[in-house]
Amino acid sequence: MERYDLCVIGGGPAGYAAAMRAIDFDKKVILIEKDKLGGAGIYDGALASKTMWEFSTRYRKVYDELGKDRADRNLDITFDEVKKNVEEAVFDRKFQLTCHLRIIHAETELITYEKGVASFVNDKEIKVTKEGGEEVVIYAENTIIASGSSPRKLPNIEVDEKIIMTSDGIGHLDDFPESLVVVGAGVIGCEYATIFANFGKTKVYLIDRAERILPFEDEDISDLISKNMEKQGVVIHRTASLKRMEIKGGKVEYEIECKDGTTEVIQVEKALLSIGRVPNIGSLKIENAGVKMSKRGVHIGDVDTQTNIPHIYAVGDVSGRIPLVNVGEREARHAVVKMFADFPVKPINYENVSTIMFLNPVVAAVGANEKNLRDENIPYRIAKVDYSTIARAISMGKPEGFFKLIVSDDDDMKVLGMRAVGAHASSAIQSVALLMYMNKGIDELAHMIHPHPSIVEGVQEAARMLLGKSIYKSAVFKDKLKCYSCRDGVCTPLTSISNEKRIQYEEIAKNYHEEGYED
């Protein structure tokens, strides 16, 4: 029986990161993957969908610049071109990972890659069943479960991945569907609705059980994204529950029930279920290792990444915690260090996890939003800067969006979170995430000299507004700049000028907007 210091089950982003980090400690590793190296992170997940989004966004930009009449005459795109673009991106990433793995194996002989299905015999013995049926049992002192997740399905809906699909079926499409219903208005559902709406060849319907899409985010974000979707022809079924969905005559018929009790039956060419993901644990026989499960996935107690069996860890989607590639990779590296380092290891800080939502426009987020803080009755202060006041956004011709910086409602003004919506939003989030990680206030951010013109100047202006040092005064540009504190559900404007002056400025600004201004 071959013996290893570490067995990693799953060759997706988290599993691959774990195996490579273990090599840094000169440990003998076996990496087991049942399907494709890189997992859903490459093939049907982040890389594939974001490549489609980039392509669709570029296409939409050209379409809008040409204008509808000229674009319809001179601009065309086929789904084969979209698929080719995605396939090239997938191939590039797959080639990188595969070549890297082979070279590392040849140079160090520390890592073994095995393609097959892993299952626990006991807590230290793992059976690998290969494609031809051959079985081999290996021994591992430590194990990391990084088996990922799969799209969730509904028990009463038949998913064939051709007509009724999950995200795994998008690559099976032969052409743009004439019409598509997306079930689920979370991040992934809204991203795919945005992608197909951008290409303008598919009538998109979006079923939303809540009163608004992206219900976990603040209303200003949800309202902006839904407004742009509807501008591109997306029909949003708000507060609608799906009563049935079935394939009839090669197409999809679905029935929804609205808030007022009325029902509506609609036929579309394709359907996409986007209702979350479930951990891949079915073939692991995890009970043989004595590992406990939670409602969401492999149970992780107070000790991050570590299961109830001390030498078995779970990272990435399989833990049911935060299903993001960057989180999975971070957890995987952390688990390896906890196993093999000869020094104390700090727990992972999940409070400053940065996320990006590829919508129209892009939404980047870190930490708490207003909704979180209101729900927990935590006092906060906020500064909101509209993109239309930022020189870089003006020069790009992309004035739609805003920065929203949220801090504690006290003299320290510790950063609690930020939302960036608009062009280059993802580039602006990391400085705030770093301040959160360091448990710092906003003084450092306000005193930095940012590049000009750049989008991140808007973040700095938000910090200055909270400190009462802004260039623009929110009392004047109250439709573009907002600065207020919220406590016990009551929001009060923050301003460095007297209330009398604020009222005077607001009156002047009102007259300016109503009557115009001439030099």
Residues in the chain, total: 519
> How many Å apart are CA 226 and CA 357, to the nearest integer?
14
Across the range 73-85, mean pLDDT stands at: 91
Question: Which residue do the tokens 């802004």 mark?
Answer: 470
pLDDT digits (tens, 9 = 90+) for 194-206: 999 999 999 999 9
Question: Which residue do the tokens 């870190």 mark?
Answer: 366
pLDDT digits (tens, 9 = 90+) for 325-361: 999 999 999 999 999 999 989 999 888 899 999 999 9
Q: Is the pLDDT score of 235 beyond 70?
A: yes
Angle between helices 325-340 and 13-24 (to 10 degrees): 30
Across the range 279-304, mean pLDDT stands at: 88
Q: Is the pLDDT score of 510 beyond 70?
A: no
Per-residue burial over 47-81, b = 16 or more CB atoms within 10 Å of its CB, e = otherwise: bbbbbbbebbbebbeebeeeeeeebeeeeebeeee
At 518 the pLDDT is 45
What structural domains and CATH numbers belong to the chain?
3-49+82-150+278-340 (3.50.50.60), 164-275 (3.50.50.60), 361-515 (3.30.390.30)
- Please, which residues have CB within 8 angstroms of residue 360's CB and are 6 or more apart in sequence? 57, 60, 194, 197, 198, 225, 228, 229, 232
Q: Is the pLDDT score of 319 beyond 80?
A: yes
| Highest mean pLDDT out of 67-81, 105-119, 458-472 | 105-119
Residue 228 half-sphere exposure toward CB, CA atoms < 13 A: 21
Report how far apart the first and last C-alpha atoms of the chain are (Å, whole number): 86
At 377, is the pLDDT very low, low, confident or very high (cuts 50, 70, 90)? very high
At 263 the pLDDT is 96
> How many Å apart are CA 355 and CA 402, to the nearest integer?
16
User: pTM for the complete prediction?
Assistant: 0.91
Q: How far is CA 97 from CA 92, 334, 480, in A?
A: 9, 21, 46
If one compares 518 and 194, the residue with the highest pLDDT of the two is: 194
> How many Å apart are CA 466 and CA 289, to the nearest integer?
53
pLDDT digits (tens, 9 = 90+) for 418-465: 999 999 998 888 889 888 888 888 887 888 888 888 888 999 999 999
Dihedral in degrees, nearest 10, Cα atoms 463, 468, 470, 475 = 120
Across the range 109-138, mean pLDDT stands at: 94
